[in-house]
């Protein structure tokens, strides 16, 4: 009888136990989301009965026609767009300063820039609310934008700084050497080289802002962003399917761009600062 | 006549602040340097790292500015002009090609900035690529090129504006030996063809000797000596130059007095020394010393002898293996010998 061939070392192929574990973890993470998708199509009005008694598409037009949902959605998009725009400018400038110059307190400033992403949202929220109250600024659309910008800046800063660190500094010198002034150098050399980092940073920042709840709660007046509107809807069982449709919409708006951002930076592996 | 001077340094210094152990001080990267580089010259700045050669080059390019003193480009003070207002171009050590542009766009960048029409631009890009033997590579990206090819693109990009002076910052450092030697010859040929003043920074003394019309040897922010390769090699003026450029025997103190009758330190190249048996009398036209061969190292092309001098000190002697074999030269070990060299081959070192 021939001797048994020893089992493949674990580096070659995952064991059944590991496969099972990985599969279980994916199920654990994703089943709740799939349930939301499923119940976006249920014929049930209010209760979650499993399996759903029937499937229908009627909630989708109802959800889209819901004016409260529309208001919340447009507010959220405006906040995310403005916070992202602010983050692009401030984050790029901060990254350029930290990369190009040595100055007193550089390490501290770098740390302080990253802090809002690491801090629990509740701390940022309380801090923002106190500061805004102390300065007697009314809580408006703009205070939400400012609150969101604090963590959006970090994402852009991280992405752009990582890109700067990988690109040769002499490229900028070469451009100026060949007759380009600072503006021409930024436009022709710097911008194309950090372009994908900016796009990835912007998409991540937009997604972070889009589904943010905690900081928004603290910095908003009576405005309701989409996540907050969804949360308030959970208390009204009547509209559950509409809420589920909206949740599905949020997944599409936030998850797809993140996948796209990962793709465009895949070759660079420099998208730092994941999610908050 | 100011036209003959491509570059002139007038008492140029550059200091950098340094922080060490919480003490803030400054380091003099370039220390009161004055020099003149002539029109059409291939001029090398030679020195070890940190000697100020690269800082000097960066100040000519405009990436750095002198703390004091003046830099003149064909008689015009450019000390405080930004890089884009100087008629000077640079070949960078890491080439600094723009990765998002094709080879053609890289080479044509200077012309694009000057808003030269596309058709004219393409014509001149092709001329330049032809000069560096890369015709037909215009559509490729820098990432698709070998190191030697990138080097050529960087050269073409820097030459397309017809600068008054071309600066080269250790451009051959990243290439392997064969390619480097080939590029040395080619660079020299291109310089002859375009007739532009080349200023070449290197730490490789052999490279500097091979390519340059004149060399400035830098050490600790100062120039030790300026001269043609032969002058620098045959008549080093300082101990540093004697040691940095080629191999030298440095003789000073008692040993120097025994040989020349004076305390003044001098250097003598190993290949200038004759190694003879003890018979006969020393030629009065030579300096001579007697000693015993301590070690013999056979290196194929030549043999290196290490000789202990009677009365102290030692000398390295090199002889070509014209008629000898390794068997012959090994017999010298332990023999008493007379070393002699022509008086004019000894270089007296200042200081």
Q: Where are the domains of chain A?
A: 16-56, 67-264
Q: Classify strands B76-77 and B88-91 as parallel, antiparallel or unpaired.
A: unpaired
Interface touch A181/B114, C-beta < 8 Å: no
Confidence of residue A258 (pLDDT cuts 50, 70, 90): confident
Kindly tell me the number of DSSP H helices and DSSP E strands found in chain B. 11, 18
Rounded CA-CA distance A28/B309 in Å is 86
Backbone angles phi, psi at B333, to 5 degrees: -60, 130
Confidence of residue B207 (pLDDT cuts 50, 70, 90): very high
Interface touch B109/A193, C-beta < 8 Å: no
Report the pLDDT averaged over residues B95-106.
94
Tell me what pLDDT residue A273 has: 39
Tell me what pLDDT residue B276 has: 85
Confidence of residue A2 (pLDDT cuts 50, 70, 90): very low
What 3-state DSSP class applies to B14? strand
Instruction: Mean pLDDT check: name the lowest of A107-116, A178-187, B198-207.
Output: A107-116
Min CA distance, B228 vs chain A (Å)? 29
What 3-state DSSP class applies to B48? coil
Question: Which residue on chain B is closest to A194 by alpha carbon?
Answer: B100
Rounded CA-CA distance B206/B229 in Å is 10
Q: Comparing A70 with A55, which gets the higher pLDDT? A: A70
Same domain, B145 and B288: no
- Closest CB to A178: pick one of B82, B94, B157: B157
Quote ipTM for the complex.
Answer: 0.82
Residue range(s) defining the domain that contains residue B175: 2-235
Tell me what pLDDT residue B3 has: 58
Q: Comparing B44 with B277, which gets the higher pLDDT? A: B44
Report the pLDDT averaged over residues A15-44.
87
What CATH code is carried by the domain that includes residue B22?
Answer: 3.40.50.300
Tell me what pLDDT residue A5 has: 52
Which among B202, B235, B268 is the end of a domain?
B235
Which among B182, B201, B235 is the end of a domain?
B235
Interface touch B84/A180, C-beta < 8 Å: yes
Report the pLDDT averaged over residues B311-324.
86
The pTM of this model reads 0.77
Same domain, B288 and B180: no
pLDDT at B23 over 80: no
Interface touch B89/A175, C-beta < 8 Å: no
Q: Comparing B179 with B157, which gets the higher pLDDT? A: B157
- Closest CB to A171: pick one of B83, B98, B161: B98
pLDDT digit string, tens, across residues B67-98: 999 999 999 999 999 999 999 999 999 899 99
Report the pLDDT averaged over residues A75-81.
93
Interface touch A174/B161, C-beta < 8 Å: no
Same domain, B196 and B253: no
Same domain, B222 and B278: no
Q: Classify strands B76-77 and B68-73 as parallel, antiparallel or unpaired.
A: antiparallel
Q: In what order do the strands lie in the sheet with B249-251?
A: B249-251, B266-268, B347-348
Same domain, B258 and B306: yes
Tell me what pLDDT residue B1 has: 42
Which among B190, B211, B235 is the end of a domain?
B235
Alpha-carbon distances, residue B75 vs A155, B5, B53, B167, B190 (angstroms)? 50, 7, 22, 18, 26
Same domain, B229 and B256: no
If you compute the radius of gyration of chain B from its CA atoms, what whole number of angstroms results? 25
Tell me what pLDDT residue B47 has: 94
Tell me what pLDDT residue A267 has: 54
Q: Report DSSP state, residue A239.
A: G
Backbone angles phi, psi at B220, to 5 degrees: 50, 45
Rounded CA-CA distance A183/A176 in Å is 10
Tell me what pLDDT residue A272 has: 40
Same domain, B219 and B275: no
Does the residue B200 lie in any domain? yes
Same domain, B53 and B194: yes
Report the pLDDT averaged over residues A116-136.
88
Same domain, B32 and B168: yes
Does the residue B228 lie in any domain? yes
Does the residue B128 lie in any domain? yes
Q: Comparing A138 with A241, which gets the higher pLDDT? A: A138
Residues of chain A positioned with their CB less than 8 A from the CB of B107: none
Does the residue B240 lie in any domain? no
Tell me what pLDDT residue A269 has: 43
Interface touch A179/B94, C-beta < 8 Å: no
Tell me what pLDDT residue A275 has: 37
Instruction: Mean pLDDT check: name the lowest of A156-165, B19-28, B168-177, B231-240.
Output: B19-28
Residues of chain B positioned with their CB less than 8 A from the CB of A187: none
Contacts of B56 (CB under 8 A, 6+ apart): B9, B12, B30, B33, B45, B201, B218
Report the pLDDT averaged over residues A245-259.
82
Interface touch B98/A179, C-beta < 8 Å: no
Mean pLDDT of chain B: 90
Report the pLDDT averaged over residues B1-14.
84
Same domain, B64 and B171: yes
Asked whether the beta carbons of A75 and A141 are under 8 A apart, the reply is yes
Q: Classify strands B197-202 and B165-169 as parallel, antiparallel or unpaired.
A: parallel
Does the residue B243 lie in any domain? no
Could you say which residues from 172 to 231 on chain B have a Cβ atom under 8 Å away from some Cβ of chain A?
A: none
Tell me what pLDDT residue B119 has: 93
CATH of domain A67-264: 1.10.3720.10
Same domain, B228 and B254: no
User: For chain B, where are the alpha helices, taking DSSP H only?
Assistant: 53-61, 103-107, 109-113, 118-131, 147-159, 177-194, 205-211, 229-234, 239-244, 253-260, 326-330
Indicate the number of domains in chain B: 2
Q: Enumerate long-range contacts of B206-214, CB under 8 Å, 24 or more apart.
A: B207/B44, B207/B172, B207/B180, B208/B44, B208/B46, B208/B245, B209/B233, B209/B245, B210/B184, B211/B42, B211/B44, B211/B184, B211/B187, B212/B42, B212/B43, B212/B44, B213/B41, B213/B42, B213/B43, B214/B37, B214/B41, B214/B42, B214/B43, B214/B44
pLDDT at B286 over 70: yes
pLDDT digit string, tens, across residues A205-242: 998 898 888 888 888 888 888 888 888 887 776 777 78
Tell me what pLDDT residue A47 has: 63
Rounded CA-CA distance B91/B159 in Å is 9
Same domain, B219 and B308: no
Tell me what pLDDT residue A6 has: 52
Asked whether the beta carbons of B106 and B98 are under 8 A apart, the reply is yes
Interface touch B94/A170, C-beta < 8 Å: yes
CA B196 remoteness from chain centre: 18
What CATH code is carried by the domain that includes residue B285?
Answer: 2.40.50.100
Confidence of residue A202 (pLDDT cuts 50, 70, 90): very high
pLDDT at B33 over 70: yes
Min CA distance, B342 vs chain A (Å)? 50
């Amino acid at each position: 009888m021939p001797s048994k061939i020893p089992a493949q070392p674990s580096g070659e192929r995952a064991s059944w136990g590991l496969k099972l574990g990985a599969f279980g973890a994916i199920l654990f993470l994703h089943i709740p989301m799939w349930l939301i998708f499923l119940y976006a199509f249920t014929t049930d009005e209010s209760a979650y009965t499993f399996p759903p008694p029937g499937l229908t598409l009627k909630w989708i037009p109802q959800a889209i026609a819901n004016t409260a949902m529309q208001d919340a959605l447009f507010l959220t998009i405006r906040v995310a767009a403005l916070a992202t725009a602010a983050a692009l400018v401030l984050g790029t400038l901060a990254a350029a300063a930290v990369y190009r110059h040595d100055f007193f307190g550089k390490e501290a400033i770098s740390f302080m820039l990253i802090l809002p992403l690491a801090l629990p949202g509740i701390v940022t929220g309380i801090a923002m609310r106190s500061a805004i109250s102390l300065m007697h600024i009314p809580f408006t659309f703009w205070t939400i934008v400012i609150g969101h910008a604090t963590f959006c800046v970090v994402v852009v800063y991280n992405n752009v700084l990582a890109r700067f660190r990988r690109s040769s500094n002499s490229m900028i010198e070469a451009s100026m050497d060949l007759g380009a002034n600072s503006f021409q150098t930024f436009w022709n050399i710097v911008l194309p080289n950090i372009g994908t980092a900016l796009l990835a940073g912007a998409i991540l920042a937009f997604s972070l802002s889009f589904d943010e709840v905690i900081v928004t709660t603290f910095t908003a007046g009576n405005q309701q962003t989409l996540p907050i509107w969804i949360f308030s809807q959970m208390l009204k069982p009547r509209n559950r399917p509409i809420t589920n449709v909206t949740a599905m919409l949020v997944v599409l708006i936030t998850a797809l761009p993140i996948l796209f951002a990962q793709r465009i930076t895949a070759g660079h592996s420099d998208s730092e600062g994941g999610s908050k | 006549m100011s036209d003959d001077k491509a570059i002139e340094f007038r008492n140029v210094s550059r200091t950098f602040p340094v922080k060490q152990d919480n003490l803030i001080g400054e380091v003099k990267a370039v220390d009161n340097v004055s020099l003149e580089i002539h029109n059409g010259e291939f001029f090398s700045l030679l020195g070890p790292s940190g000697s100020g050669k690269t800082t000097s080059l960066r100040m000519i390019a405009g990436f750095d500015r002198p703390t004091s003193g003046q830099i003149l480009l064909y008689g015009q003070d450019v000390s405080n002009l930004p890089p884009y207002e100087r008629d000077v171009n640079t070949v960078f050590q890491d080439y600094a090609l723009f990765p998002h542009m094709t080879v053609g766009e890289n080479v044509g960048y200077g012309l694009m900035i000057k808003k030269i029409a596309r058709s004219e631009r393409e014509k001149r890009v092709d001329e330049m690529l032809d000069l560096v033997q890369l015709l037909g590579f215009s559509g490729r990206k820098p990432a698709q090129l070998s190191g030697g090819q990138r080097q050529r693109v960087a050269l073409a990009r820097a030459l397309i504006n017809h600068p008054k002076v071309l600066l080269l910052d250790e451009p051959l450092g990243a290439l392997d030996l064969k390619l480097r030697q080939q590029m040395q010859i080619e660079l020299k040929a291109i310089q002859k063809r375009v007739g532009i003043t080349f200023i070449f920074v290197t730490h490789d003394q052999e490279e500097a000797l091979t390519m340059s019309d004149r060399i400035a040897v830098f050490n600790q922010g100062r120039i030790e000596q300026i001269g043609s390769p032969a002058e620098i090699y045959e008549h080093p003026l300082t101990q540093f130059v004697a040691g940095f450029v080629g191999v030298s025997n440095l003789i000073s103190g008692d040993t120097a007095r025994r040989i020349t009758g004076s305390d003044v330190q001098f250097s003598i190249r190993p290949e200038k020394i004759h190694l003879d048996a003890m018979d006969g009398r020393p030629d009065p036209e030579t300096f001579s010393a007697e000693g015993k061969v301590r070690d013999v190292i056979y290196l194929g092309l030549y043999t290196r002898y290490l000789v202990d001098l009677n009365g102290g000190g030692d000398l390295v002697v090199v002889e070509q293996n014209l008629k000898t074999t390794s068997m012959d030269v090994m017999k010298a070990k332990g023999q008493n010998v007379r070393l002699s060299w022509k008086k004019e081959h000894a270089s007296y070192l200042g200081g």
